[in-house]
Amino acid sequence: MLIRINKYIADSGITSRRKAEELILQGRVSVNNSVVENLSYRINPERDNVFIDGERIKIKRNVYYLLNKPRGVISSTKDEKNRNTIIDLIKTKEKIFPVGRLDYNTTGILLLTNDGDFSNLLTHPKNKVPKKYEVNLDKELDQKDKSKLLNGILIDKKKGRFTNIKFLNTTDKKLVEVECVEGRNRFVKRMFESLRYQVKKLNRSYFAGLQPDIPVGNYRELSKREVQKIKERYTIEIN
């Protein structure tokens, strides 16, 4: 598969695509010992050798992990208070980061990767990637408030809504499952708080077609097929 030279350089982890373009225009990039100054130039990663200032670069191996996040862990690569982070839970030599975030005490599915395009694909609002959350409320959700949450509520002057709400227990209306495509910070909690409900427990049970199919606190690497299905579903740009 042929890819653009600027993407190849960016995927090596050396610099961004924009900086890679600057290096190309400066004549500092060569392919198979020939200087390349065309930004649309494409290479075959399996056959071509790429150099910057005479030093060969190699594309990094993209990795994709599914973590069933436990409570009491920060969804960040580091924490100034020295609390445990999700990075502490995964053993890898690659420099990974979370795809979106879950609150400190929110549990459930969280993806981590070193692939910036993949992360952007799943977090960009236009792609409307579905998420499902299991919510334990401090009081029963009545039908009137359920309708409001489905029709839309203003949060920071922007309307937010759940695309679906269902009760997880026919006898306890404090336990609900909500579905949404929003990625705003603390979105689920803020939606309920706007109607004077407190979220006692929150678990993300579904994200981009995946479920946390491993014990809490554990992780696994996504298969090539799983990654490809996500890319196909949300049309990732590879050029």
Which residues are known to be catalytic?
Answer: 103
CATH 3.10.290.10 in the chain, residue ranges: 3-57
What integer pLDDT is reported at residue 93 of this predicted model? 87
What integer pLDDT is reported at residue 237 of this predicted model? 45
Cα–Cα dist 203/135, whole Å: 7
Which pLDDT band, with edges at 50, 70 and 90, does 239 fall under? very low
Section 38-66 average pLDDT = 90
Asked if 175 contacts 134 with a C-beta cutoff of 8 angstroms, the reply is yes
Cα–Cα dist 132/185, whole Å: 15
DSSP 3-24: EEHHHHHHHTTSS-HHHHHHHH
Section 162-178 average pLDDT = 95
- Predicted confidence (pLDDT) per residue in 121-166, tens digit: 999 999 999 999 999 999 999 999 999 999 999 998 899 999 999 9
Asked if 222 contacts 96 with a C-beta cutoff of 8 angstroms, the reply is no
Domain 64-125+216-234 is in which class? alpha beta
- Predicted confidence (pLDDT) per residue in 203-228, tens digit: 999 999 999 999 999 999 999 999 99
Cα–Cα dist 160/143, whole Å: 18
Section 158-180 average pLDDT = 95
Fold of 3-57: 3.10.290
**Strand, coil or helix: what is 146?**
helix
What is the CATH number that goes with domain 130-207?
3.30.2350.10
CATH 3.30.70.580 in the chain, residue ranges: 64-125+216-234
CATH 3.30.2350.10 in the chain, residue ranges: 130-207
Radius of gyration from C-alpha coordinates of the chain: 22
